[in-house]
Amino acid sequence: MEVAAGLGGVESLAGIPGETSQRRLSGRALAARGIAEGFVRLSLGIEGEADLVRGVREAVALARARSSPAL
């Protein structure tokens, strides 16, 4: 058994398996487990539905903004 990257609590968390819990696996091993590059694992807490949806939308918008090439 390995130490978990984070079990969370009542809060919601997002993690990138290839960089956290599965970081020791090769690209081939990740693919064999169905974990593609850029996959994000969500662990939902006890927030209300609207808060969860808003939080995910904000996070996706921020990630897109950070990954877009500068104009």
Q: What is the pLDDT of residue 28?
A: 92
pLDDT, tens digit, 9 for 90 and up, residues 36-65: 887 888 888 888 999 989 988 988 888 788
Residue 44's closest CA among 5, 2, 15?
15
Residue 32's closest CA among 19, 22, 21?
22
C-alpha distance from residue 12 to each of 8, 37, 66, 67, 70 (Å): 7, 22, 21, 23, 30
The count of domains in the chain is 1
Q: Which residue has the higher pLDDT, 53 or 71?
A: 53
Supply the range of the domain harboring residue 17: 13-67
pLDDT, tens digit, 9 for 90 and up, residues 4-24: 566 657 788 888 887 777 888
Q: Which residue has the higher pLDDT, 68 or 57?
A: 57
In a domain, 40, yes or no: yes
In a domain, 6, yes or no: no
Q: Which residue has the higher pLDDT, 30 or 7?
A: 30
In a domain, 5, yes or no: no
